Structure 1
Amino acid sequence: MHLSLSRVHFPVTTLGPGRRLGIWFQGCSIRCPGCISADTWGPGHRRVSLDALLEHIQPWLAQADGVTLTGGEPFEQFDALLALLQALRQRSEGDILVYSGHSLEALAEQLGQTRGLIDGLISDPYQEHSEQTLALRGSDNQRLSLFTPLGEARLAHFQRPLHASDKALDLMFDAAGSVWMAGIPRRGDLLRLRDLLHSQGHQIQTSAHTSKRR
């Protein structure tokens, strides 16, 4: 079993409670206008085996309070997603939160196959011009659904408006020297950061609001 993978980071503190393992799938056909993760739209070239991924993340799983799966669109690699969820459930007692740009209704059949494996799901496409006032969501049309007692215990308190403490981003670095941000930025934050750094003579490229299709 292989999957197209964008990146993996630990700890992530802005996509769910506690210190989390973040796994970004590569590839998304939804391509919401204004998406801050347009770099994950294309199919990519990094295909990894599930066994290799699990070996890589095992030390972090022992420390993580939970796991967040995002992308990209995890449900567009459903067989790999299902196998990963099963493996994570066996290896971790933390909660599993999944992001999807598909509607809850469109995912009904697939969610039936993941029963007991996903504790919380944030569903529905990002809407660039919708309000952004809810915790863990980029636009207020997105829904947080809780499917397990663990999900209720760990994630129910995110059914609320944004707090000041929610307005944070994790900074992450990869082996190639790229800087990544995880979290739910306010509208235009990454473009404002880009313009600020450009004004100081720095070069930066961001995938936020990009029209490039990869």
Structure 2
Amino acid sequence: MTDVSVSRLHFPVTALGPGRRVGLWLQGCSIRCPGCISVDTWDQGIGTVPVADVFDRLSVFAGEADGLTVSGGEPFDQPDALAGILAHWRAVADTPTLVFTGREFADVQAWLSGHPGLVDALVTGPFRSDLPQTLALRGSDNQRIHALTDAGAAVLSYDRPAGEADRRLDVAFDEHGHAWFAGIPARGEMARLRRVLTAAGHRVVTSDMAGARA
């Protein structure tokens, strides 16, 4: 394991788990759920960096962060890199890890058994645009939250109906002036944002419609 494909790494993220967290989005997804709002994270083999660079950036934030959230893309498409990143977090921070996967629990159970204690909490299941979205921390109601350690039990506080605060988003800007959002918006909110910005005279392209960041 020498390289990993990364979409973005950001701190702080407040909309994907308890507290102020490091958010790491791995690049590449073999699941490609219809209706996904993160189409820009689908393509494989781009954003490739030495995994040591990710270790260095995580170490910078380790002392300030309340935890690490890993999403994508599909994190388990890069299983060795995922294991190395989570093991590094364990070495530099005593705060819990949360991983989002589009796979079911049974599909990743062997990986979890082979890397015990690296994941404190796990959200499993593909995004389903044909199902309701009424639950906190989830894009569709088929997805499940699993607390795998005592430290991950805090994430179970999200195993409830979603409130208005659960749909808040973190907003950040990259070096090109592109905006991106961290969090799980209510169904239809990104389309509503496009309409509002277009009505205000802006040209809007978002990742769910064109594979590019907003």
TM-score range, shorter chain: over 0.9
Q: Does 2:159 align with 1:187? A: no
Unaligned runs of 5+ in 2: none
Q: Does 2:17 align with 1:16? A: yes
Alignment correspondent of 2:126: 125
Alignment correspondent of 2:176: 176
Which structure 1 residue ranges, 4+ long, deviate > 6 Å from structure 2? none
Q: Shift of the alpha carbon at 1:140? A: 0.6
Tell me the TM-score normalised to structure 1 length.
0.95
Amino acid at match of 2:26: F
Q: Shift of the alpha carbon at 1:105? A: 1.0
Q: Root-mean-square deviation (CA), in Å?
A: 1.4
Q: Shift of the alpha carbon at 1:12? A: 0.5
Alignment correspondent of 1:139: 140
Task: Give aligned pairs, total.
Answer: 211
Unaligned runs of 5+ in 1: none
Q: Distance in 2 between matches of 1:114 and 1:34?
A: 32
Amino acid at match of 1:170: D
Q: Distance in 2 between matches of 1:94 and 1:69?
A: 13
Tell me the TM-score normalised to structure 2 length.
0.95
Q: Distance in 1 between matches of 2:78 and 2:145?
A: 21
Q: Distance in 2 between matches of 1:164 and 1:204?
A: 25
Q: Distance in 2 between matches of 1:89 and 1:187?
A: 35
Q: Distance in 2 between matches of 1:158 and 1:212?
A: 30
Q: Shift of the alpha carbon at 1:62? A: 1.2
Spell out, residue by residue over 1:117-138, the C-alpha distance to the aligned partner (whole angstroms, 9 max, x if none): 1000000100001111111000
Once the two structures are superposed, the pairs formed by residues 58-137 of structure 1 within 5 Å of their partners are: 58-137=59-138
Spell out, residue by residue over 1:160-212, the C-alpha distance to the aligned partner (whole angstroms, 9 max, x if none): 1112211200001111211100101011111110111111111121122x376
Once the two structures are superposed, the pairs formed by residues 153-168 of structure 1 within 5 Å of their partners are: 154-168=154-168
User: Identity percentage over the alignment?
Assistant: 45
SS at match of 2:49: strand
- 8 Å CA contact 1:191–1:206 kept in 2: the answer is no
